[in-house]
Amino acid sequence: MEYLKKAQKNEQTTINDVEQTVKEIIATVRSKGDAGVQEYEKRFSHSDRPLKVSEEEIERCVSALSSDVKELIDRVVERISAFSKAQLECILPLEKEFGPGIQMGHRIIPIEKVGAYVPGGRFPLLSSGPMVVTPAKVAGAKRIVACSPANYEGGIHPAVLYGLVRSGATDIFAIGGAQAIAAMAYGTESVPEVDIIAGPGNRYVAEAKRQVFGKAGIDLIAGPSEVLVFADESADPKKCAADLLAQAEHDPYARAIFVTTSISTAHRTVEEVEHLLHEFSPHSPAHESWTNLGEVIIAESLQEGIDICNEYAIEHLHLHLKNSRDSMDRLYNYGSLFIDSDSSVVFSDKVSGTNHTLPTNKAARYTGGLWVGSYVKVITHQQITGEGVQYLASHASKQSEIEGLEGHRLSAEMRLSSIKS
């Protein structure tokens, strides 16, 4: 393995600074409620508008959208909904006998109150709202509270607002950042307290989700976008370069990694990246992202390349290989896999139907991304009768005696006494 280009030291705000800032925001929102939220909205978003988006505002914003934009968003919602429904069909209830008189199983129950965070960021990402809200709607959530920053003419971008409405959000608030996460986790006079919070965001949002976990559930902690393009000598350097920059433009801290078994492909792809960057706006985050965090790695073999991919446990893994599917079974650490050069990550970002809220910072080692299953609980039950009582009570009584748990032994032996009497 050889680095043709290695990431420079990441000069993000220190973890301690972010952690302390978020801690203060959460404490303020908990103690002051709406007033605390508004305090931070004024400070960070320069917004003093009402927190909740009214029906009149929704109607006004939606009516300003063209039919073409609405059609695009409708298609996004339909495709995410279709994929989520197909996934939900795979999560089946269970009811089975595990020996005479021992009936056990589980039920699939939707989480009642969902908090959806939809980042505003640099661009009005039309798919972000549907990606977070639609699976919750399909799962059967009764209330879906959505928060998004008021960074477009004093409110939420009309296209983002329309996407939230079409996806099934029941309450929409123009609140961003850590204060939005705190408001949904603890509730305020205006913002309902929720059971789980889902959705991507910047490092302050991610840290806020980490700190409120336990008070509310969270989907995962998703940081700035990541992509690893894995290519061999058959790859088109132009496509590789375009796929790297498509994710790099999300954020200055986005990570674009190129791994290849071909030295020639490595050099040509770097040249294409530099060429394409000249055509980007000088203000594009892609410049800073590629310069500081972009990496190019030359693997000595296909297997070493696969090992590198598994070690990086990247958010988006895109295979530009001659026989991409042949390597699929050996790849197991990724947020989402894109097989063959034409399966652009952009398709998933926008409209294919799989979710683009995915694990970053190597979290793909232990979790997948946001999906309809994130919004349901698998809860177990059991009913013990007849022979089952005799068998389990006898075992539980003996084990409890060994463990020194008198109450446990007593409870089990009462069942044995009932059978004898």
Side-by-side strand order, sheet with 255-260: 2-5, 295-298, 255-260, 226-231, 314-320, 334-339
Cβ pair 359, 220 in contact under 8 A: yes
Pairing state between β 94-97 and 102-110: antiparallel
Amino acid sitting at position 206: A
Q: How far apart are CA 194 and CA 183, in angstroms?
A: 9
Q: Is 157 a catalytic residue?
A: no
End-to-end CA distance of the chain: 74
CB atoms within 10 A of CB 346: 16
Q: Is 318 a catalytic residue?
A: no
Residue pointed to by tokens 């977070």 = 132
Check 249, 295, 315, 320 and give the catalytic one: 315
Check 250, 316, 318, 356 and give the catalytic one: 316
Choose among 292, 243, 238: nearest CA to 268: 238
Cβ pair 294, 272 in contact under 8 A: no
Q: Is the dihedral of CA 280, 283, 289, 290 positive or negative?
A: positive
Show which residues are catalytic.
Answer: 315-316
